[in-house]
A and B are shown apart, each in its own frame.
Chain A
C-alpha cells in the first residue's frame, strides 16, 4: 500500500499536477494506511468512516491548476460543468464545497467522484483502487484548464471580459510552458519482430506523456504488424504500457482484445482503409480548446456540437470533426477514419487528436506535436485579435 501511494505521488508530481510533499493519500483495507499525516487527516478519516470507499487522495493542485480551479469556482455556484467530452462523459460535473468541513464535503462526495474546495484543493476517492482517485484528480485539472481557456476566449470575443479576468489570464499565460518544436526521434521502421513493435509502442506512449500531449491515462496508441493490430488496453497509462498492449487480429478471429482501448474500432478502420501502420491518439489541451471555438452562434446544432456538428471546420489543413467516445450512433469511429486521410490527422470536437504514421511513430508524433503547437498559437492569435 505504501508503495502504491508513493507511485501515485510520484506520478502527480511528474505530471505537474501537484507539488512534492503536498498530496495526502489514504488506503483502507482492514486497516487505514496514510502516506503522511497532517492537520487534514482527521477530516479525511471521517470521510472513510461515512463512506463505503477504499482510498482517498487530497491535494492542492499545482499552479496554474490551483488558481484556475479557484477562479472557476468563484464564478460557479454548486459545481463546475466541464465542456470537454471525456470529462463530461466520465465526471459529469465537478461539485464545489463552500468550506473545508465534513458537512460541506461529504454530501457532495456521496454522489460524485470528487469535490473541489477552493483555497484547499481537490478530494477524490476510489472504491477499487487509489488509481481511480488519481485519474479523477488528473481529469479535474485537465477539465478545469480546458474550461477556463474556452470560457475566457468566448468572453473576449463577445467583449464581456473584465479587467480582472484579463489580468488573470495574462498571469496564467505567462506561466504556460512554451510549445516544444523539436523532439528526439523514436525507433524507426521496419520492425522485424513482435518485441520490437511492443518496444516501439511503449516508447511512443511514454513520449507523448513526457511531451505533455496527453495526461497519462487519456489516449491510446496502436501499431499494425503482420495482420495484427497491437493496441494499448483500455484504462492503461500511456507511460506504463509494458504488459498493457492487446494484439487484435485484423480478421477478428480472437476476442482477446476485448480489453483493448475503447477506440479500437477507429484504429481498425483507419488501418484498414488507409493502410497506415502507426496511430496516436491523445488529448493535447489547446487542440481540444480550439476545436470548441466556433463563431456560429446561431447554429441549430449548438449544444450538440460534439455529436452532430454539420460543418467542415479546419485548423490549417487539419479537419475538426464531431464524435463521441467509442462506438455509439454519434461515435467518433464514424467520423475520424475518413477525416484523418488527407492531413494524416484530425481533431475531434472537444476531445483530442488522432494522428497517423505510414511506417512508424515518428511521423505520427510529429503530426500531433505540430497540431498542438498550431492550436496553441491559433488560440492566442484569436485571443489577441
Chain B
C-alpha cells in the first residue's frame, strides 16, 4: 500500500486497551483520509451525545501527509461538536499529522474515557497511556514543557477542563486547532495530551512523478501574490488580509453592527511586524510558512483573531490584541468564538470593553471563574439566549462567525449558512474568488451563480481536508495538480473530477449526520442583523442589508444542486446515487 499506512489505531480508554484496525482498501479509496475518513467513522456513532464515552474522537491524517506533496502536512481532528451539535472538526497543522504517518498510522480513533487525567503517548507502534492527574489545570504552554521529548503534541488547556464549549487544541505549543470546541472532547475523555513520534517513512508509489507534481504546484504558488507575493501570507501571515477587509468595508466591527473600524490602519500586519518582529514558522512540509511566532515562541494572531480582538470589540490597543490571542492559546480557547462572545457580551452590556477587561474576561472564561466567566464559556448563542436577546449572538448553528461581514460578500453569506460545522468560512472559502480574485474574481455583491459555486467549493475543500492539504495553497493550485500528486503517491488513478465526486460524497455524509441530529433549513440561516441592518458607510458606499428573499432563493437553489429536499434534508435517492448507506 502506498500513501496510506493501512492502519488505524483504535484506543479504548475505559479498558486502557488498543487495537490495530486495517480499513478496507475500498474505504480508503472512497473516503481518502483526514476529514473524509474520520467522517465515515463518526457517522456510525453521530447520534450519541458528545460526552457519551462511546462517542469517538478521531485524529486522522491523509494519504499525502508525510510526503513531499506541498503544504500537505495537515490533519483533521473530529467528533461531534459540543458547541454546535453538528459534525465537529478542526484542521490541525504543525507536525502532528506527519509524525502520525511516520509512526505508521492513518488515524487514531479513541473511545471510552480514562479514569483520571491522562496523556496518550505514541511512538511508532507503541502506545502508552500515562496517568497525569498532576497535569490538571496546567496551561497549554506549561503542559508542552513537560513533553519536550515526546515528538509532536496535541494538548488542551484549562478551558477544556472547565467545560468551555469553544475549547481548542494546541498543536506543538503554538498552532491552534480551533472551532467547534473539539478540545472539550479531549476533556470528556480525560485526555490532557496526545503525543506522537515516528521513525518510518510514508511509502510513495512513484517518487519521481510526485516530484514533478510538486514542481507544478510550487511554480503556481510562486506566481501567487496572496501566498508568496510581496504582501502575501508567507511574509506577513494571514494578518495580510486585514487591510484588505478594511478597504473592502467588510471588517466586522462592534459585534457586526458596523463594517468599518477607523483605527484599522494602525492595527494591521505592517504594524504587527514592526512591533513584534516575528519569526517564520509553518506546518511540516510547507514552503509557504504562514505562521508567525514571537522570538519567545508564542503565536502572533492570525487574521481572524487580529480582526475580532480589535474591530469586533472596538479595541484599538494592539498589544492587548496580541495578549488576548496569547491568553486564548495558553488556556486553550478558540479565538473567533472567544472574541465574538465578548462582543456579544459588550453589546448586551451596552458598553465597549476596555482592553484590560477583555484580557480579564478571557482569563475568567478559561479558568471558569465567576458567574460571567462561566456563562460566557458557553458561547455567545447560549449566553445571548439566557439574556433574552438571542439576536445579539452573531453565530450560525451556535458557532460564532469569522471576520468577513457577509453583507460584503454574498457567497460568504450562503457559505456561512450551509456550512456543516456551523458558522465557518473554510468549508467553501469564497474569500478566494470574492476577495482574492482566485481562480478568477466574482462579483461579491451578486447572488448570481453562487449556489453552485459554493456547492462545488464545499466538495473541493472536503477533498483538500481529506488529503490532507492546506486550503491556502488552493489560492494558487487546484485539484488538477493535487490529483496528480495523489496518483503519484498512492498509485490509484484519479482525476480532479474523480476527487470532486469523493468530496461530494464526504459532504453529503456530513449533511446526513447533521440531519440525523435534527438539523434542517431552519439552521442553515444567518443572524437577523444581516437582513435588517446596514453596515458602515465608507467610500460613499454603505454595506446594504442582505435581501432576505434573494438569500432564500440562493439557498433553495443550493439545496437543489446538492440534492437535498426543500427543507435541506438529504434524500435517499441522492444518498444512493453517491453510494452512501441510507438509514431512515
Which residues from chain A sit less than 8 Å from chain B, CB to CB?
Answer: 1, 27-30, 50-54, 89-90, 92, 107, 109-113, 126-129, 131-132, 135, 233-236, 248, 252-262, 264-265, 268, 324-328, 331
Q: A29-B557, A54-B456, A325-B223 are in contact. Are A255 and B244 (CB under 8 A)?
A: yes
Q: Is the CB of B219 within 8 A of A256?
A: no
CB-nearest residue of chain A to B242? A255
B247: A residues at CB distance < 8 A: 256
Q: A256-B246, A258-B232 are in contact. Are A129 and B222 (CB under 8 A)?
A: no
Q: Is the CB of B433 within 8 A of A257?
A: no
Whether B453 is near chain A, meaning CB under 8 Å from some CB there, is yes
Apart from A131-B441, A255-B240, A328-B221, list 15 A-B contacts with CB within 8 A. Answer: A29-B452, A30-B557, A30-B561, A89-B223, A110-B495, A253-B270, A255-B231, A255-B239, A258-B243, A260-B229, A262-B225, A326-B222, A326-B223, A327-B230, A328-B218
14 contacts between A and B (CB under 8 A): A29-B452, A54-B456, A110-B495, A129-B433, A129-B442, A129-B449, A235-B441, A256-B243, A258-B229, A258-B241, A259-B226, A324-B222, A326-B223, A326-B228
Q: B242-281 vs A: 1/0 string, CB under 8 Å?
A: 1110110000000000000000010011100000000000
Residues of B within 8 A of A (CB-CB), count = 60
In the assembly, what is the distance between CA of A50 and CA of B500, in Å? 11
In the assembly, what is the distance between CA of A135 and CA of B460, in Å? 21
Whether B459 is near chain A, meaning CB under 8 Å from some CB there, is yes
B560: A residues at CB distance < 8 A: 30
Which residues from chain B sit less than 8 Å from chain A, CB to CB?
Answer: 216, 218-226, 228-232, 236, 239-244, 246-247, 265, 268-270, 433, 435-442, 448-453, 456-457, 459-460, 480-481, 483, 495-498, 500-501, 504, 557, 560-561
Give chain A nearest CB distance to B272 CB in angstroms: 10
Q: Among A28, A51, A92, A328, which residue has its beta carbon within 8 angstroms of that of B228? A: A328
The 10 closest A-B pairs by CB, nearest first: A328-B222, A30-B557, A110-B497, A325-B223, A110-B495, A256-B243, A111-B495, A326-B223, A326-B222, A52-B500
B456: A residues at CB distance < 8 A: 52-54, 127-128
Give chain A nearest CB distance to B190 CB in angstroms: 43
Q: Is the CB of B496 within 8 A of A110?
A: yes
Give chain B nearest CB distance to A179 CB in angstroms: 30
B interface majority secondary structure: helix
Q: Is the CB of B231 within 8 A of A260?
A: yes
In the assembly, what is the distance between CA of A233 and CA of B440, in Å? 11
A324: B residues at CB distance < 8 A: 219, 222-223
A54: B residues at CB distance < 8 A: 449, 452-453, 456
In the assembly, what is the distance between CA of A253 and CA of B450, in Å? 34
Which of A27, A92, A324 has the most chain B CB atoms closer than 10 A to its own CB?
A92
In the assembly, what is the distance between CA of A58 and CA of B120, in Å? 57
In the assembly, what is the distance between CA of A127 and CA of B504, in Å? 14
CB-nearest residue of chain B to A333? B230
Give chain B nearest CB distance to A364 CB in angstroms: 21
Q: Is the CB of B270 within 8 A of A30?
A: no
CB-nearest residue of chain A to B449? A29
Give chain B nearest CB distance to A80 CB in angstroms: 17
Which of B231, B269, B459 has the most chain A CB atoms closer than 10 A to its own CB?
B231
A262: B residues at CB distance < 8 A: 223-225, 229
CB-nearest residue of chain B to A267? B230
Give chain A nearest CB distance to B480 CB in angstroms: 6
In the assembly, what is the distance between CA of A112 and CA of B479, in Å? 10
